[in-house]
Structure formats: structure tokens, C-alpha cells
């Protein structure tokens, strides 16, 4: 029964401006990110670690991978070689051992190989602008990925025969199988990124072509020149091979045994990579490092494996002089060191011990002390600021160099650094390049890349100790002469068990499943503005189609197959103190003592809701006279959008139901009522149903309204049903006065969880409208 057009619908129309809509005409609930967890904060690329770990725990592997890819386009690579600062900051460190986050990432990447999902569509080319990226390492690939996703035409120029930069030239295949690398690069190619290999940019002509032909240039050339040792004899003998050159030769050229006895100098990952590679080629390998194992910058796992494989590491030994004969290296004279006070880098300064020299025999020495970028490709008058370390100087917030339109990132800016840092800079550069092309300010606060520094307080006491899953490894005996991958991945059961060790620090898992998966009448967005944020703790293991219609709570299908009701944190209403009269009506209606009046200043009291006691029935919201208690769900906006489905061409029946009485709308055979349009609205408890809900439904054009609650003595919240009876009495009188016939509002109760009874009640009521 339609009412005049000008009334409430106008009101709704005006309202539309203040809420956002999805394609479906449904309300979106904004969900705010409140506090990042330590793992997420630690990740330079801002990967939402907690989200993907909890998705893995829930067995949602594809979804987990999707979360990783949002901030890291190279999940399989990082799942193998990332230095995982996330694990360093994991709160589990304080209990037992960190969650094996890196291995979990690898697991989801590997999972996709066995359970493929459709390849990404080409996104590049929707915009005209062209961007040149020099270098196809992680920094370049990430920027290309982001820029292609934004629609730009991206071309990567790579000097080497294969794309990947240090990933292919530096990291040995026993750590990073080449097929994985290829798959991940192909993923980026699928977006429409062009990668031209064997193309060295060199000289003025090439450089000018770039400047003219492209709207922006990103220099991600890495640091591929090994630094010299600077000790006597270095230039006098044959038998020197710096680590990057050695690894490049092995990885991209012909793998050749470098020598019988070799010495690697240095303690970083490159040193270990060079040593383990040489070992695999049949050499006897010694590593010389001037501090102790504690200070060694290489990953602890890597050092362990190197030693297990039979590499001898000489700690507290500094190279002093090269020993040679007949123009050839025969050994290295070292000085024994002891540790002194910390130096600028914070590590203990090694001090030489007098008369402690000793000699290690060797026919090849591989220095792996540091690298710097090869800037020789630039014409002399390039004018780009270069630092004293021979790296590009770029603004750390934007990755912009001093020349507008030219950006730089990765090792070419930082000097030798980690893959994940290069990825992080790739993101920043891509964002800046997009802003540059759009003519926007480069420097903007981006909450995702710059997490707010907050300390998440979670209770670490009384947490049971759990064992971190061991990463399965190739047998030591099988490793010699083999470049087979040393680490194996987790199987599904191990991955799930390991992910379940996650403490889920912070209020929301931020898995965004609510966004992508939310069922029927409600889609959910993570709010971008800081205002009106709703905190949603939505466990990723819920099955959305079990959620009550339009509610942020419902039945959770847990991993073990048992159904259990879930309630989200957001059920706790918020008191708008400025509106609170301090009347205490909430204190009276709430029989859980969740509402209390607290003294603000002087005589002013305001209501406060104790989140520990609150059970979220919403009755206090219904009974707050000044509307100061704002619901986190079942808001008036939510109702408005539900009621938008009223169809003036049909007879409309609105059914309100409690969540606990077994009401199941799916069980109603709506198709047998041809001329009837049903609108099912489920609330937490009939106690939340305000008189306005019903009056508004009538006003909007509902022909009939049926409320199916629980009987008063069976109310899940003990008092909600009782309170609704009061509301109903009022509404009946008001509706009667407004001239609505009595049959149009009917209130029925169901005893226990009784779906059949619910269906019967709906059918009985509907018959009145035939």
C-alpha cells in the first residue's frame, strides 16, 4: 500500500549522500583499521601479515595469497628469501618462538601452483602515459606491477639475459628455484608489463631517448659491482673474483668450479650465497668474518645451513694480506680480532690482536664485503644527485631524485639491501610516479605505507607454549653438487597448525573477507576516513552464507566443522557523550549491568557501556530517549536500505525476526506467493526493534509486518523480548491512531529454536494477504 511520495522517501533520498553504496543497493558498513599488529608494522612493504596468517589458519589459502599480493607482488620469492622482519617483531618471541611467517607465505604461493586460479587480466594500457623502468629486480618489478595495475604502459629495460635482477643474478637457485621466479615475473607480465632483456641503456643517445619517449623514468638498477678489500696484494695476483660477479657467472653463465680451496670474505647473505654455491661446485670453502656469529648480518638459518654443509667459518678474523706465488693467489693472511665498543652501526668494533696473524690456504679469494651500483651507463651530464656511496640520492618518502620525472629505488639508492625493502621502495616509487603524472603533490600521508606507531596491548601471560613448525629440508648428503632447492614447503596441515599459533594481536584481523564475501543484504568496506569507524573483528573462518541476513554476527562454521554462534566486537554500542542526558534509562533496561553512569565533571553523569558485560542485544539503544547510544549495527541507515526493497507494485510483507529462534528465511517458499514481496530483516534480538522500525516500514509502504520473537522466558538476552512487548503495545496504539488496520502488525513468538514453527507463522500471516 503505497503512501505519498514526498514523505519518508525524500528523507532517504537526502540521506544517500551521507552513506556510500556498492553496486548493489545495499548499505556498506565501514570498518576501520585501528591498530596495526607488530608484524604488519615491521614489514617494510606493509604486507598485512596478520590477515594472511589468520586466513591460512582458516584454510583460506587463495584468499591469503590475495592479501599478500596486495602489497607484495612476489610472494613465492619472498616466501623463500625474505629476511622476515615480521618474525623478528612477532609477539610470540616473548612466549616461545615466532610464527614461521615466511614459510607460511611460501606455502600459499606454492598452493596456487597446485591449485591455480585464473591469471590476472591485462590492466596496462588504459592510460596513455608510458613509463620506463631500468632494471628488473624486485624494486623495478614491484613498481611495474603497481603502475600497470593503475593502467600505465610500463616497459622494463634489463641488461642481463633474464629478468629478475639480483633475484636471478645474485641468489642461487638452491634457495630460489628459477621456475618460481619465472612464474612470478610472468604474473607481472600478464598485467601488460613489457620486459626487454639484453638491453643495456648506455650513453647519451639511449638516455635521451628515454627522456623523450617516456613520461617518467624509474632507476632500479640495483648494486652489482663488488667493492674491493683494500688490502696489500689485492692487485698483484690472479685468483680474485668478487661475489656478485661469481654468482652472476654461475647463475646466468656457465657454472664452473671457481677453485679447489676458496675463501669468501664477509658475513652477509651474499657471502653465504657465494660460499654455499662454491661448495656445490666442488670447492672446499672457508669464510672469514671479522666479528662473531652474533654480529653476522646474514640470516641465522643460512649460517646454520652453511656450517652444516661443511663450510668453515673463521669468526673474529680479518683479512690482512694476500699471499701469492708466481702471480697466483696461494692464501690469505688474517689477523685475529677481539670485540671492542660499538661503532656507528651499533655493532661491536673489531680490534686487531697483536701478533695473531695466521694463514689460510686458498687458490681463489671471493670478497663479498659490499656492492655499489654501476652508474657507468649514465651520460656525463646526467645531473642526478649521487651520494658519496655512489648511489642515487632520492627522497625517502617519494623516491624522487632531484630531476623531476626521474625516480630511483632499491639497492641503487640504499646500497645492498633486502628484497622486501626493494619491494617497499617499488611501491613508494609507483605511487609517486602516478602522482607525478597526475600532477599531484608527491608527498602525501599514506596511512598504509606509514603505519601509525601504536603499541598493541595484548595479554601475553598464560599463553600456552607451542612449538614452531620445523621447515623441512633437503638432506645434507644430497646437497653436494646439487642446486636443488634446500628448503621444502609446509604441507597443508602443518601450515594451518603453524598459522594457528598466531596470537592475532590487535582488534581486527583485517582479512577483508568481510569486504569480498559478505552475504546478501550487506557489503562491507574498510573505511578510508577516520570518522565513524566501526571496529569489526570478523574471524576469517566464518562462512558468510551462514551469517544472519544483513547482520554482523551469525553462525560460524569453524574449521572443525562445528557450528557456533559468533558475535563481533562491533556489537557494543557507542555512547555519544554530547547527547547523553545521564537519565539512566539504559541502566534500568540493561539487566547485565553493562550500562553504568559515570561522573564526568561536577554534576554531569554520562552513560558508559562496559564491553565485558555487554552482550549486544541493543535494547539500551532502543530505549535511550536522547538517541545518545548509537548502535554498531541495526542502525537506522541499515533499516532504510532494507526497506528500499519495498516494491510498490506488489504486496509487501516485512518480517522482523530475532536471531535466536531458529528463523531461517531460506526455508520459506517465497515463489509460491507470486504477488508478494517479502523483506526479511533479522536482528540480534527483538529488543533492538524500535517502534520507529515498524512505523517506518509501514510508512515506506509495507502492507504487513510480522515480528517473530522468542517467548519472554526464553529470550537469549533474558529481557529483550520482555522489552519488545512494551514497544509492541505502544506501536499498536500509534499505528491504530494513524489509521492502520490491526492485522497489519502482528507479533508472534516461537518457543526454542524452531524453524518449522517460524515458517508456519510466516505462511499463516502471508495467507491474510492473498
Partner 1 sequence: MDLVDQIKATNAYGCLECGKCTAVCPVSLFSQRYSPRSMLTKTIRNEFDSLYIDYDLWSCLTCRRCDAVCPANIDYSTLTQIVRSSAQDSGFHGKCSHAGAMELLQKTMTTKDLKQNRLDWVTNDLQIADTGEILYYVGCAPYFDVFFTDLDIATLDAAKSSVKILNKLGITPVLMSDERCCGHDLLWNGDVENFKMLAEKNIESVENTGAKTILFSCAECMSAFMNLYPEHGFKVKPKLMHMSQFLAEKLSNDELNLKESNTDITFQDPCRLGRHMGIYDEPRQVLKHNDGEHFHEMMQHDKKSLCCGVSAWMNCDITSKGIQKERLKQAKETGAEILAVACPKCHIHLTCTMKDKFVEDNYHMDIRDISTVVLERME
Q: Total number of residues binding partner 1 (CB under 8 A)?
A: 50
Q: Is residue 622 part of the contact set for partner 1 (CB under 8 A)?
A: yes
Q: Cα separation of 39 and 135, whole Å?
A: 29
Q: 3-state secondary structure string, 647-693?
A: CCCCEEEEEEEECCCCCCHHHCCHHHCCCEEEEEEEECCHHHCCHHH
Least Å distance, CB 535 to partner 1, is 22
Site mask for partner 1 (CB under 8 A), range 688-717, x = bound: --xxx--xx-xx------------------
Angle formed at CA 720 by CA 714 and CA 725, multiple of 5 degrees: 95
Q: Is residue 579 part of the contact set for partner 1 (CB under 8 A)?
A: yes
Lookup: cell for 371: 656492492
The smaller minimum CB distance to partner 1, of residues 308 and 528, is found at 528
- Contact between residue 306 and residue 272 where contact means Cβ atoms under 8 Å apart: yes
Q: Cα separation of 221 and 110, whole Å?
A: 29
Q: Cα separation of 144 and 73, whole Å?
A: 10
3-class state of residue 541 by DSSP: coil
Least Å distance, CB 768 to partner 1, is 19
Q: Taken in order 396, 398, 400, 402, is the CA torsion positive or negative?
A: negative
The smaller minimum CB distance to partner 1, of residues 423 and 624, is found at 624
Antiparallel, parallel or unpaired: β 225-226 and 371-372: antiparallel
Q: Cα separation of 701 and 3, whole Å?
A: 6
Q: Is residue 604 part of the contact set for partner 1 (CB under 8 A)?
A: yes
Q: Is residue 605 part of the contact set for partner 1 (CB under 8 A)?
A: yes
Nearest residue to 174 via CA among 539, 550, 499, 476: 476
Q: Cα separation of 682 and 404, whole Å?
A: 57
Q: Cα separation of 661 and 715, whole Å?
A: 9
Least Å distance, CB 522 to partner 1, is 20
Of 13-21, 315-323, 353-361, 671-679: span binding partner 1 (CB under 8 A): 13-21
Q: Cα separation of 743 and 768, whole Å?
A: 9
The smaller minimum CB distance to partner 1, of residues 360 and 628, is found at 628
Q: Is residue 7 part of the contact set for partner 1 (CB under 8 A)?
A: yes
Lookup: cell for 561: 566443522
Of 98-106, 224-232, 624-632, 712-720: span binding partner 1 (CB under 8 A): 624-632
Q: Cα separation of 363 and 754, whole Å?
A: 84
- DSSP for 245-269 reads HHHHHHHHS------SEEEEE--SH
Of 97-105, 122-130, 377-385, 601-609: span binding partner 1 (CB under 8 A): 601-609
User: Treating both helix axes as pointing N-terminal to C-terminal, what angle do 419-438 and 138-149 enclose, rounded to 10 degrees?
Assistant: 40
The smaller minimum CB distance to partner 1, of residues 302 and 690, is found at 690
Least Å distance, CB 19 to partner 1, is 9
Q: Cα separation of 179 and 486, whole Å?
A: 15
Q: Is residue 737 part of the contact set for partner 1 (CB under 8 A)?
A: yes
Site mask for partner 1 (CB under 8 A), range 15-54, x = bound: xxxx------------------------------------
Q: Is residue 584 part of the contact set for partner 1 (CB under 8 A)?
A: yes
Give the residue, chosen from 25, 232, 404, 625, that forms a contact with partner 1 under the rule CB under 8 A: 625
The smaller minimum CB distance to partner 1, of residues 576 and 716, is found at 576
Give the residue, chosen from 6, 326, 376, 675, that forms a contact with partner 1 under the rule CB under 8 A: 6
The Cα-based distances of 175 to 144, 473, 483, 591 in angstroms read: 24, 11, 8, 61
Of 45-53, 393-401, 552-560, 599-607: span binding partner 1 (CB under 8 A): 599-607
The smaller minimum CB distance to partner 1, of residues 60 and 696, is found at 696
- Contact between residue 170 and residue 223 where contact means Cβ atoms under 8 Å apart: no
Q: Is residue 395 part of the contact set for partner 1 (CB under 8 A)?
A: no
The smaller minimum CB distance to partner 1, of residues 5 and 325, is found at 5
Q: Is residue 648 part of the contact set for partner 1 (CB under 8 A)?
A: no
- Contact between residue 420 and residue 78 where contact means Cβ atoms under 8 Å apart: yes
Give the residue, chosen from 736, 743, 751, 763, that forms a contact with partner 1 under the rule CB under 8 A: 736
Q: Is residue 433 part of the contact set for partner 1 (CB under 8 A)?
A: no
Site mask for partner 1 (CB under 8 A), range 533-572, x = bound: ----------------------------------------
The smaller minimum CB distance to partner 1, of residues 630 and 670, is found at 630
Report CA dihedral (527, 613, 553, 56) to the nearest 10 degrees. 70
Q: Cα separation of 518 and 633, whole Å?
A: 15
- Contact between residue 463 and residue 95 where contact means Cβ atoms under 8 Å apart: yes
- Contact between residue 82 and residue 68 where contact means Cβ atoms under 8 Å apart: no
Of 77-85, 163-171, 314-322, 581-589: span binding partner 1 (CB under 8 A): 581-589
The smaller minimum CB distance to partner 1, of residues 420 and 621, is found at 621
Q: Is residue 739 part of the contact set for partner 1 (CB under 8 A)?
A: yes
The smaller minimum CB distance to partner 1, of residues 127 and 644, is found at 644
3-class state of residue 513 by DSSP: helix
The smaller minimum CB distance to partner 1, of residues 374 and 726, is found at 726
Q: Is residue 10 part of the contact set for partner 1 (CB under 8 A)?
A: yes
- Contact between residue 698 and residue 735 where contact means Cβ atoms under 8 Å apart: yes
Give the residue, chosen from 97, 323, 597, 759, that forms a contact with partner 1 under the rule CB under 8 A: 597
Q: Is residue 598 part of the contact set for partner 1 (CB under 8 A)?
A: no
Q: Is residue 186 part of the contact set for partner 1 (CB under 8 A)?
A: no
Of 111-119, 389-397, 489-497, 733-741: span binding partner 1 (CB under 8 A): 733-741
- Contact between residue 617 and residue 717 where contact means Cβ atoms under 8 Å apart: yes
Site for partner 1, rule CB under 8 A: 3-4, 6-8, 10-11, 14-18, 576, 578-584, 587-588, 597, 604-606, 621-622, 624-628, 636, 690-692, 695-696, 698-699, 726, 729-730, 733-734, 736-739
Amino acid at each position: 500500500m503505497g503512501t505519498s511520495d514526498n514523505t519518508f522517501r525524500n528523507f532517504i533520498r537526502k540521506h544517500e549522500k551521507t552513506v556510500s553504496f556498492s553496486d548493489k543497493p545495499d548499505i556498506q558498513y565501514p570498518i576501520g583499521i585501528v591498530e596495526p599488529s607488530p608484524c604488519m608494522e615491521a614489514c617494510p612493504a606493509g604486507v598485512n601479515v596478520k590477515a594472511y596468517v589468520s586466513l591460512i589458519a582458516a584454510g583460506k589459502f587463495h584468499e591469503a595469497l590475495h592479501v599478500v599480493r596486495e602489497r607484495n607482488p612476489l610472494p613465492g620469492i619472498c616466501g623463500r628469501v625474505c629476511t622476515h622482519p615480521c618474525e623478528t617483531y612477532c609477539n610470540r618471541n616473548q612466549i616461545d618462538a615466532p610464527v614461521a611467517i615466511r614459510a607460511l607465505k611460501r606455502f600459499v604461493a606454492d598452493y596456487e601452483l597446485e591449485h591455480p586460479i585464473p591469471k590476472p587480466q591485462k590492466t596496462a594500457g588504459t592510460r596513455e602515459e608510458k613509463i620506463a623502468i631500468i632494471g628488473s629486480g624486485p624494486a623495478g618489478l614491484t613498481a611495474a606491477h603497481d603502475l600497470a595495475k593503475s593502467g600505465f604502459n610500463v616497459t622494463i629495460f634489463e641488461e642481463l639475459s633474464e629478468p629478475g635482477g639480483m633475484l636471478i643474478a645474485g641468489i642461487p637457485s638452491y634457495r630460489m628455484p628459477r621456475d618460481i621466479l619465472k612464474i612470478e615475473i610472468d604474473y607481472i607480465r600478464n598485467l601488460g608489463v613489457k620486459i626487454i632483456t639484453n638491453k643495456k641503456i648506455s650513453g647519451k643517445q639511449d638516455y635521451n631517448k628515454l627522456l623523450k619517449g617516456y613520461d617518467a623514468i624509474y632507476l632500479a638498477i640495483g648494486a652489482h659491482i663488488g667493492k674491493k678489500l683494500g688490502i696489500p696484494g689485492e692487485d698483484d695476483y690472479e685468483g680474485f673474483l668478487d661475489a656478485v660477479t661469481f654468482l652472476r657467472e654461475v647463475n646466468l653463465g656457465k657454472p664452473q668450479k671457481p677453485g679447489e680451496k676458496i675463501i669468501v670474505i664477509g658475513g652477509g647473505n651474499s657471502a653465504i650465497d657465494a660460499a654455499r654455491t662454491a661448495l656445490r661446485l666442488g670447492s672446499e670453502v672457508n669464510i672469514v668474518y671479522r666479528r662473531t656469529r652474533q654480529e653476522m648480518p646474514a640470516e641465522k638459518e643460512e649460517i646454520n645451513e652453511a656450517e652444516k654443509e661443511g663450510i668453515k667459518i673463521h669468526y673474529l678474523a680479518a683479512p690482512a694480506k694476500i699471499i701469492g706465488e708466481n702471480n697466483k693467489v696461494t692464501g690469505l693472511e688474517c689477523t685475529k680480532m677481539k670485540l671492542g665498543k660499538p661503532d656507528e652501526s651499533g655493532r661491536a668494533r673489531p680490534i686487531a690482536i697483536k701478533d695473531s696473524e695466521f694463514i689460510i690456504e686458498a687458490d681463489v679469494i671471493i670478497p663479498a664485503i659490499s656492492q655499489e651500483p654501476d652508474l657507468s651507463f649514465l651520460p656525463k651530464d646526467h645531473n642526478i644527485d649521487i651520494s658519496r656511496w655512489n648511489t642515487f640520492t632520492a627522497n625517502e618518502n617519494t623516491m624522487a631524485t632531484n630531476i623531476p620525472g626521474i625516480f630511483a629505488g632499491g639497492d641503487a639508492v640504499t646500497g645492498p639491501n633486502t628484497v622486501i625493502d626493494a619491494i617497499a621502495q617499488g611501491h613508494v616509487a609507483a605511487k609517486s610516479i602516478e602522482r607525478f603524472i597526475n600532477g599531484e603533490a608527491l608527498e602525501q600521508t599514506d596511512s598504509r605505507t606509514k603505519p601509525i606507531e601504536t603499541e598493541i596491548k595484548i595479554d601475553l601471560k598464560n599463553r600456552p607454549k607451542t612449538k614452531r613448525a620445523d621447515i623441512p629440508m633437503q638432506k645434507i648428503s644430497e646437497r653436494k653438487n646439487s642446486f636443488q632447492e634446500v628448503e621444502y614447503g609446509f604441507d597443508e596441515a602443518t601450515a594451518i597448525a603453524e598459522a594457528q599459533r598466531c596470537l592475532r594481536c590487535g582488534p581486527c584481523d583485517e582479512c577483508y573477507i568481510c569486504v569480498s564475501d559478505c552475504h546478501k543484504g550487506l557489503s562491507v568496506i574498510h573505511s578510508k576516513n577516520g570518522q565513524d569507524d566501526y571496529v569489526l573483528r570478523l574471524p576469517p573462518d566464518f562462512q558468510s552464507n551462514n551469517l544472519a541476513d544483513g547482520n554482523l554476527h551469525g553462525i560460524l562454521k569453524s574449521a572443525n566443522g562445528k557450528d557456533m554462534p559468533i558475535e563481533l566486537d562491533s556489537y557494543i554500542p557507542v555512547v555519544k557523550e554530547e547527547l547523553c542526558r545521564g537519565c539512566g534509562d539504559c541502566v534500568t533496561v540493561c539487566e547485565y549491568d553493562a550500562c553504568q553512569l559515570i561522573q564526568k565533571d561536577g554534576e554531569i553523569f554520562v552513560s558508559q557501556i562496559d564491553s565485558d558485560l555487554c552482550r549486544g542485544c541493543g535494547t539500551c539503544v532502543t530505549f535511550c530517549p536522547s538517541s545518545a547510544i548509537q548502535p554498531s549495527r541495526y542502525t537506522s541507515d541499515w533499516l532504510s536500505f532494507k526497506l528500499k526493497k519495498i516494491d510498490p507494485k506488489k504486496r509487501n510483507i516485512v518480517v522482523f525476526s530475532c536471531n535466536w529462534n531458529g528463523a531461517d528465511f531460506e526455508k520459506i517458499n517465497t515463489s509460491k506467493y507470486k504477488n508478494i514481496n517479502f523483506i526479511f530483516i533479522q536482528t540480534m534480538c527483538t529488543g533492538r526493534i524500535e517502534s520507529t522500525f515498524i512505523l517506518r516500514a509501514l510508512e515506506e509502504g509495507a502492507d504487513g509486518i510480522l515480528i517473530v520473537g522468542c517467548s519472554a522466558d526464553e529470550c537469549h538476552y533474558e529481557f529483550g523480548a520482555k522489552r519488545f512487548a512494551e514497544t509492541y503495545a505502544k506501536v499498536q496504539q500509534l499505528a491504530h491512531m494513524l489509521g492502520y488496520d490491526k492485522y497489519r502488525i502482528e507479533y508472534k513468538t516461537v518457543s526454542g529454536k524452531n524453524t518449522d514453527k517460524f515458517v508456519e507463522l510466516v505462511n499463516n500471516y502471508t495467507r491474510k494477504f492473498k
